[in-house]
């Protein structure tokens, strides 16, 4: 019994550490970008032929979809809180290290954007990827964490599926 408690504590410590790394990387990047744009009184910043920095205040869900200001905005925030609780539940229940890592990265990103929804009443997005006239949705570090965690989960599920089918 004691060994299970020690393993659970180690898992929670590792997960919480990864969540905090994602959260604080996101916070640092947003604070830096907001201060940069305010102090330099600019609207956008050219990085190279494929990346611009542009500060957009997102009141929708991921990538600015379904932008809203009233009930729907608060409903989305509530859904995000439930998703974070489910992620924490999955982190505690799973025994697979890769799932713990993926769920922790997703949770760290979700908490970063939830923090902004509460603190700023919108989420600052600032990374603008583009090729010529095609621009992807503007996003932030939390969005990268969420997307990376989901992609890693999908990749490892596909590998596991292929491995089982080849036996």
**Is pLDDT above 80 for 162?**
no
List pLDDT tens digits, range 84-126.
888 888 888 888 889 999 999 999 999 999 999 999 989 999 9
One of 26, 116, 128, 143 is an active-site residue; which one? 143
User: Is 125 marked active-site?
Assistant: yes
Question: Cβ distance 48 to 56 under 8 Å?
Answer: no
Question: Cβ distance 147 to 65 under 8 Å?
Answer: no
Percent of the chain at pLDDT > 70 equals 87
What's the pTM value of the predicted model, to 2 decimals?
A: 0.85
**Is pLDDT above 80 for 7?**
no
Residues 126, 11: Cα–Cα separation, whole Å: 33
Angstrom distances, CA of residue 56 to CA of 2, 4, 60, 95: 50, 46, 11, 39
One of 26, 116, 125, 128 is an active-site residue; which one? 125
User: Is 116 marked active-site?
Assistant: no
Per the DSSP assignment, residues forming a β-bridge with 131 are 134
């Amino acid at each position: 019994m004691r060994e299970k408690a020690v393993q659970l504590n180690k898992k929670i410590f590792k997960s919480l550490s990864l969540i905090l790394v994602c959260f604080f990387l996101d916070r640092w990047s947003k604070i830096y970008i907001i201060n940069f744009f305010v102090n330099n009184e600019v609207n956008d910043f050219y990085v190279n032929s494929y990346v611009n920095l542009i500060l957009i205040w997102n009141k929708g869900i991921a990538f600015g979809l379904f932008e809203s200001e009233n009930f729907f905005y608060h409903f989305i925030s509530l859904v995000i809180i439930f998703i974070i609780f489910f992620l924490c539940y999955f982190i505690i229940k799973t025994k697979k290290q890769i799932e713990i890592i993926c769920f922790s990265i997703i949770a760290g990103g979700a908490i970063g954007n939830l923090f902004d929804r509460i603190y700023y009443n919108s989420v600052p997005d600032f990374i603008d990827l583009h090729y010529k006239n095609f621009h992807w949705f503007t996003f932030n570090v939390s969005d990268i964490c969420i997307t990376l965690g989901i992609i890693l989960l999908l990749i490892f599920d596909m590998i596991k599926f292929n491995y089982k089918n080849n036996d």
